[in-house]
Structure 1
């Protein structure tokens, strides 16, 4: 409900007093008219009563003469009875009427109507007294006759004769007195009526004159007020047309006021706003969540118990994007900043003043600066990695990254429309992305890790989606583009550091544009990367290349490569442990001694990264848990590589909690892969197969280091690709050991 504006009673005090006086005059005139009407009515009743008394007196005399002439007639005859009854009634009526006229009492006519008689003046009193005196002489004689008039046993001739004789004398005096009384009352009533008419005319004239004065005075005041209001409205309109921001008022129902700045229409992008509901203006242009929050926010602004500064910090329309729904290409999505301020009427919150500004340019500038800052941070991060990591490892990462991207791009280009084929593509891309993320995380390249993690989130969502289509893979091209761009950036930074020597991997450094979706035909995603393909031999060359760091003198780095690789794995394990709230120590007696062939360097590195991550995330316990189990707070991980002549063996062992097969059964049942009964029937070998399946993880919540069920799937795929063998041994609460055997040939 709209808030009723506060009215200043002092401003209208003169109007209120004038109207009250005008109504008082009319009321007084009406009261006087009512009083005089009542007085005239009483005078009329008095005249009627005197006439009635006179008529009754004539009837009494007539009845006495009639009885006298009919004397001797049977008293029980209808005629005599009727006359006697009438005589008795008229006698009683004259007696009561004379008393009422004289004293101004109340009388009741023959029909039962009651009237109040007015008090008469002295002259009228004299006439009433004279008439009453004659009546008092006649009335006793009539009563004496009526007492025995119908009794045949008692003679009444003398009483009747006396009454008739007295009537002859009194009737003339009574009639004259009553006639004089009637004339006096009539004259008095006429004088009163004349006075009443005069007073009414004067009253009406006074009221009409007052009304004219009232109209003239207040019409002038109204014109002055209208002129002031017009001037204020014109000033308001000039202000509203001049300001460059959007200004308007909101009531409790979120209705926009009738007055708003002209700039508001351009800022909001709507032609009609006055009187419109604010939520209807925003609906479809901001999210439903923001719209609901806005309604609740404004409700709190109208809550006097909530401080305005406190609720202002919760403003959901601070630099909010307003989408264009008008269909006009000239109107783009824009960022608007809404500021809300309370408008008070005395101590009551009357309205909410809204100030709207188009801050699109400022937001875009902030975004550009943020992007540039992020790029600077990324370059500093990459420079730090380049300067602190063996160049050979950097070259391997660049080469491997581009190979992963190339492989994912080729997977995307491969046709596939059946669910089986699409699921296979999804798993293959997931493996490549996870491997890439592992290497980036090991080098502390968080920009790579962030992009790869975002891509993994989308891939994980696709895994849980169920039905797949080729179009579902299109968004991945953006992530591949970003990853390739970062790869080119780190390669370029390496070249800038080494100005005097050519880049170690020309083919990799000159990779062109990122994968771009070309078309989607029959749910087949066809993406391509227009860049030089990195062959296996080139990858090998890149992995053993060198970077000139000393003014053009080539330095052979192979002698330090193995020590750097061990340091690389130790730092990697330590970083993961820090993020997971754990403590680990990596040991290796054979890594620095092993001479790993070039074609096995990549799979051994990828498998080592995945196994180390798996050992830290899933194997090693937190210090408090290890302490409760009687173990040292620092967990131990052994990483060994052995050359067995015909093959290489990679062993990763941790002294953690081991594989909890019952926990695997519970998770399989919880995820609906098996029923509880089926899960209980699975052997340890079957459970290990599920542990190595894509998308399954015993970790409850996914993070940067694990929980998506891809790491062991990558290991299984790598071992399969190189015709290797995989052996797992575990003791619950004691240790877990993975042994990977890869043939040299």
Structure 2
């Protein structure tokens, strides 16, 4: 099936040699043309130079006569000065030009281009020597006159008369010699041009004749090759028609061979494959990344130094989704498995044999099994959260999740046609989604976090695309359904655990506490929890495990220690992902009563502030140590209450707010120009930090960089008629103080 390389080399060796000779002839003709062009150019410059010398000589004679007739005129007059300057320039030009023509030296034309004059023959040399001899008689007299020509204290009339008299004699000889020289050079140039044209005509004729011979030779070789290829196709046709899998050969250029199995057209879904480039067949049907990787993979298969088994493990077309030829989803899209094998001729890799099978059914089965495994893992994750987190926190999360989803659904339902309204909807949904993700991340519910992050990616893309339309929001409904489904799942798991909880109560120290456990008909989000048990040990047991045997189960509000532990765990998780170390502490959280209607907003604000402090405030250990700080950053979260307000204060000892960095980011995002940002005060720059979509983080990740966290805080403070204050010291600390009215 593979054509041997040795035969190919012998067959086309003469063809390669012919092409090389043909190119050599063209190259030689081009080189000769460039050389002769340069020679003609230099001859042209030589002719121009001789004409210039002759013209300059005429100008010298004219100027001498002019000075002679104007003698007695004021030497400082513009006329005399102009003539003297011109006489001096022409004298120098003639001297330099005659020397250059005689020696074949370098000259500069009026445009400043430098040229090297060609060597002249003996006849021309005799003529330039005659002209130079006459010039040597005239030039000293001119120089003698020019020496004191503009000096009114010196009488230079004798020198002028001598120069004029000599010019009358020498000018005739100089002009005659230069005219003869010009004629001689022109005749030589014409002779050279005729020779060049003859050689070029002969060269072109030879190349054309050689081309005809070459074409005839090539066509005959091509005809022989076609005949051999036809014979090869006949030999393999019967085998290829009976094979049930897709078989074909690939050459080094990724071209599909002329022979392939009949089943290949049905498997690939293309009618014409023979001779097509493999990348063209796959383009548009797999990703550009996979296409590029496939090209590199096949190149490595042709590398004899790379082991075939090692390369096979990197096969990018192993069970790959091949979309239909029209690029739309449909029945024609299928999973194909490509196997690549080397075909050797002696010790050389001649071709790559490709075996293709349709493995769609097997892949779909694997996907169903994987989906079931993912669902099981998700339920285990949720079950772990339920068993290790205070039930009140779980119930609050379910309630808040459904509230966020309801808000986003209501936002989506609200009509909006103008760009301002659509942008407002986008920002509102973004805030709700980011809040939901924060709570899920704090509980280590990665399934929730993943869906919310995917939704944020789409929201971020919408925020950056510019013009919006109502249809842009439709894909978000899928994410909301997924989040609601997960919320229902965790609620159902909680109900099942509650059903297994004994309803009996136990006595401790002659004090009885009763607890009613929700039935299967009561959602976990509606569980009513009594006051905390007097027995502290019983309460601690309830915190860590909602299901117990032989002990009372306390589903009351989480203790203050639970709250601090909740926030500490959340901060530690973010720090671990960001490669940082933090320590969260609080002196007032355990002693401050939070009004019921503010608990959710306090938790949401605290989560966003903690995330902002860890992601943007605290530095990495290496940076902190280089700044003579402890490797572990500290964060203080304090909640205080007075008669009117609830005050949330979060302070970190991180890098502080870099206002120059905010300016640079505003310029980079195209929001303001450099002049406008330079005039902004620190207060105006802080306001930009709280705008939707603005972040100083270079790349967005699960924890930040989308510019939503501070926007959520601003919106919550505004909704509750609160106040927001920010203090920062570069390199030392940042403190957020939020005041929420209790009423």
TM-score (normalizing by structure 1): 0.61
* CA–CA distance in structure 1, aligned partners of residues 565 and 635 of structure 2: 14
1:213-362 paired onto structure 2 within 5 Å? 240-325=240-325, 331-362=331-362
Equivalent position of 1:693 in the other structure: 691
**Match 1:669 to one of 662, 667, 670:** 667
Equivalent position of 2:658 in the other structure: 660
1:301 Cα deviation after fit: 3.2
Inter-CA distance 669–553: structure 2 relative to 1 (3 Å threshold): same
**Counterpart of 1:658 in 2: which secondary structure?**
coil
Equivalent position of 2:725 in the other structure: 727
Write the deviation string for residues 576-599 of structure 1: whole angstroms up to 9, x where unpaired.
112122221111122122221221
Write the deviation string for residues 453-479 of structure 1: whole angstroms up to 9, x where unpaired.
111111111111111111111111111
Instruction: Note if contact 1:241-1:262 (Cα within 8 Å) is conserved in structure 2.
Output: yes
1:449 Cα deviation after fit: 1.0
1:676 Cα deviation after fit: 1.3
Write the deviation string for residues 701-734 of structure 1: whole angstroms up to 9, x where unpaired.
2111111111111000000011111111122222
Equivalent position of 1:367 in the other structure: 367
Equivalent position of 2:454 in the other structure: 454
**Match 1:578 to one of 576, 579, 583:** 576
**Counterpart of 2:647 in 1: which secondary structure?**
strand
1:682 Cα deviation after fit: 0.9
Inter-CA distance 245–443: structure 2 relative to 1 (3 Å threshold): same
Instruction: Note if contact 2:724-2:739 (Cα within 8 Å) is conserved in structure 1.
Output: yes
* CA–CA distance in structure 1, aligned partners of residues 530 and 667 of structure 2: 44
1:135-534 paired onto structure 2 within 5 Å? 240-325=240-325, 331-500=331-500, 509=523
* CA–CA distance in structure 2, aligned partners of residues 408 and 355 of structure 1: 50
Instruction: Note if contact 1:657-1:735 (Cα within 8 Å) is conserved in structure 2.
Output: yes
Instruction: Note if contact 1:488-1:509 (Cα within 8 Å) is conserved in structure 2.
Output: no
Equivalent position of 1:625 in the other structure: 623
Instruction: Note if contact 1:442-1:568 (Cα within 8 Å) is conserved in structure 2.
Output: yes
Instruction: Note if contact 1:649-1:741 (Cα within 8 Å) is conserved in structure 2.
Output: yes
* CA–CA distance in structure 2, aligned partners of residues 369 and 616 of structure 1: 39
**Counterpart of 2:738 in 1: which secondary structure?**
strand
Instruction: Note if contact 1:396-1:543 (Cα within 8 Å) is conserved in structure 2.
Output: no
1:349 Cα deviation after fit: 2.6
Instruction: Note if contact 1:399-1:542 (Cα within 8 Å) is conserved in structure 2.
Output: no
Equivalent position of 2:677 in the other structure: 679
Instruction: Note if contact 1:3-1:252 (Cα within 8 Å) is conserved in structure 2.
Output: no
1:600-619 paired onto structure 2 within 5 Å? 600-619=598-617
What value does the CA root-mean-square deviation take over the aligned residues?
A: 3.3
1:421 Cα deviation after fit: 0.5
Instruction: Note if contact 1:587-1:637 (Cα within 8 Å) is conserved in structure 2.
Output: yes
**Paired residue total:** 496
Write the deviation string for residues 72-100 of structure 1: whole angstroms up to 9, x where unpaired.
xxxxxxxxxxxxxxxxxxxxxxxxxxxxx
1:627-642 paired onto structure 2 within 5 Å? 627-642=625-640
1:3 Cα deviation after fit: 4.7
* CA–CA distance in structure 2, aligned partners of residues 286 and 672 of structure 1: 35
1:640 Cα deviation after fit: 1.3
Instruction: Note if contact 1:500-1:548 (Cα within 8 Å) is conserved in structure 2.
Output: no
* CA–CA distance in structure 1, aligned partners of residues 646 and 656 of structure 2: 25
**Counterpart of 1:693 in 2: which secondary structure?**
coil
Write the deviation string for residues 189-238 of structure 1: whole angstroms up to 9, x where unpaired.
xxxxxxxxxxxxxxxxxxxxxxxxxxxxxxxxxxxxxxxx99x978x666
**Counterpart of 2:608 in 1: which secondary structure?**
helix
* CA–CA distance in structure 2, aligned partners of residues 311 and 475 of structure 1: 40
Instruction: Note if contact 1:440-1:446 (Cα within 8 Å) is conserved in structure 2.
Output: yes
Instruction: Note if contact 1:658-1:736 (Cα within 8 Å) is conserved in structure 2.
Output: yes
**Counterpart of 2:725 in 1: which secondary structure?**
strand
Moved more, 323-332 or 660-669: 323-332
**Match 1:598 to one of 585, 596, 599:** 596
Equivalent position of 1:711 in the other structure: 709
**Counterpart of 1:592 in 2: which secondary structure?**
helix
User: Unpaired segments of 5 or more residues in structure 2?
Assistant: 9-230, 502-515, 533-541
Instruction: Note if contact 2:582-2:633 (Cα within 8 Å) is conserved in structure 1.
Output: yes
Equivalent position of 2:100 in the other structure: none
1:267 Cα deviation after fit: 1.7
Moved more, 480-489 or 557-566: 557-566
Inter-CA distance 687–540: structure 2 relative to 1 (3 Å threshold): farther
Instruction: Note if contact 1:412-1:473 (Cα within 8 Å) is conserved in structure 2.
Output: yes
* CA–CA distance in structure 2, aligned partners of residues 338 and 7 of structure 1: 30
1:5 Cα deviation after fit: 6.5
1:507 Cα deviation after fit: 10
Instruction: Note if contact 1:577-1:616 (Cα within 8 Å) is conserved in structure 2.
Output: yes
1:331 Cα deviation after fit: 4.2
Instruction: Note if contact 1:639-1:653 (Cα within 8 Å) is conserved in structure 2.
Output: yes
Equivalent position of 2:171 in the other structure: none
* CA–CA distance in structure 1, aligned partners of residues 621 and 329 of structure 2: 60
Instruction: Note if contact 2:530-2:556 (Cα within 8 Å) is conserved in structure 1.
Output: no
Inter-CA distance 735–286: structure 2 relative to 1 (3 Å threshold): closer
Inter-CA distance 506–629: structure 2 relative to 1 (3 Å threshold): farther
**Counterpart of 1:726 in 2: which secondary structure?**
strand
* CA–CA distance in structure 2, aligned partners of residues 698 and 330 of structure 1: 43
* CA–CA distance in structure 2, aligned partners of residues 461 and 330 of structure 1: 27
